[in-house]
């Protein structure tokens, strides 16, 4: 069964079976300490870029409100200018002397008092506030989705861990039953049906255990992703 599985895997990878090398132990330690629902959710809120993006959107919306409100108030601006000119027609002097002699300077102070744009500013402020409320609402929706996802991730990981414990116990029982059936069969005190039945139960329990271990590994990766510690 192992060889046939290796051949199928090699075919999927478009390579020879002997190029696969030996399979490493997947290193499952389902009894290790894991995060609970609240811990995983809190870490996900701090780590996931989607939540951070919504935080930045809220900050931008708050800034836009302040900018929109600023147009309610008068504004004072100061400006200054410096210039010169040069002509080669009917004017004596070199280029640089003309530039020095024709220097012009200016300075202005402007006061702008908003009178007729009050309604426009009011609408802009309302739109900016609406953007802020939308950003906050979307963040709460995303956090609720995240809370549900992290809760399911913790539950699925724990459930897979419990199933592995049960399957290991079951596998040990089937292994012992198969060992006894093999001894009895080799002594000639049993038939092939009983022997093969015990062997099939043992083989199936091993397959179920391996499948559940890989399911546990997948759930662990999901938990690590939400915790910001995924390292494949």
Mean pLDDT of 115-144: 89
Which structure tokens are listed for 47? Answer: 């780590």
Partner residues linked to 83 by β-bridges? 104
* pLDDT exceeds cutoff 90 at 149: yes
From residue 66, give the alpha-carbon distance in Å to each of 34, 50, 110, 139: 44, 25, 22, 21
- Per-residue pLDDT, 104: 82
Mean pLDDT of 92-115: 78
Q: Looking at the whole model, is its pTM more than 0.95?
A: no
Among candidate residues 119, 139, 208, the one with its CA nearest the CA of residue 170: 208
* pLDDT exceeds cutoff 80 at 82: yes
pLDDT tens digits for range 176-232? 999 999 999 888 888 889 989 999 999 999 989 988 998 998 899 899 999 888 876
- Per-residue pLDDT, 51: 87
């Amino acid at each position: 069964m192992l060889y046939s599985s290796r051949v199928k895997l090699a075919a999927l990878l478009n390579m020879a079976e002997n190029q696969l090398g030996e399979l490493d132990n997947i290193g499952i330690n389902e009894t290790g300490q894991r995060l609970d629902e609240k811990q995983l959710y809190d870490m996900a809120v701090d780590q996931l870029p989607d939540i951070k993006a919504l935080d930045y959107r809220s900050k931008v919306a708050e800034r836009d409100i302040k900018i929109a409100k600023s147009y309610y108030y008068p504004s004072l601006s100061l400006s200054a200018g410096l210039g010169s000119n040069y002509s080669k027609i009917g004017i004596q002097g070199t280029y640089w002397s003309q530039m020095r002699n024709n220097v012009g300077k200016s300075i202005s102070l402007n006061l702008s008092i908003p009178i007729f744009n009050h309604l426009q500013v009011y609408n802009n402020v309302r739109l900016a506030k609406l953007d802020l409320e939308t950003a906050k609402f979307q963040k709460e929706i995303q956090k609720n989705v995240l809370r549900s996802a992290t809760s399911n991730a913790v539950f699925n990981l724990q459930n897979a861990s419990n199933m592995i414990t049960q399957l290991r116990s079951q596998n040990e029982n089937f292994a012992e039953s198969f060992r006894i059936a093999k001894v009895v069969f080799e002594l000639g005190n049993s038939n092939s049906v009983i022997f093969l039945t015990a062997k099939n139960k043992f083989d199936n329990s091993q397959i179920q255990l391996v499948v559940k271990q890989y399911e546990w590994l997948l759930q662990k990766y999901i938990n690590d992703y939400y915790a910001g510690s995924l390292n494949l």
